[in-house]
Amino acid sequence: MSDKEIFREKLQSLISKFEKDKNHYLSKGYPEAQVRIDFLNPLFEALGWDIENKAHKPPHEKDVIVELSLSSGRPPI
């Protein structure tokens, strides 16, 4: 199976997951941080990103760097 086919399968799985509980995922009670865990991280992993730094790269070479929130306590518009 090609990388493209593997990606399509993973993407379709995420789409199916969303469609199955769409009302929950679109509700105001579904937190933004959970979107990252449930959908964004798996999407980037499907694209080949090392989200969890499993390769143990030094901080300046990581695929993903988590930035501190400068939140005002309000959700983004």
Burial environment of residue 24 by CB neighbours within 10 A (0 to 12, 13 to 18, 19 or more): exposed
Q: How many CA atoms does the CB half-sphere of 8 hold within 13 Å?
A: 5
What are the domain boundaries of the chain?
A: 3-61
Q: Is the pTM of this model over 0.85?
A: no
pLDDT digits (tens, 9 = 90+) for 17-73: 999 999 999 999 999 899 999 999 999 999 999 999 999 999 889 998 877 766 656
Q: Residues 64, 57: contact at Cβ < 8 Å?
A: no
Q: How does residue 76 score in pLDDT terms, banded at 50, 70 and 90?
A: low
Cα–Cα dist 62/44, whole Å: 13
pLDDT at position 66 is 79
Cα–Cα dist 75/77, whole Å: 6
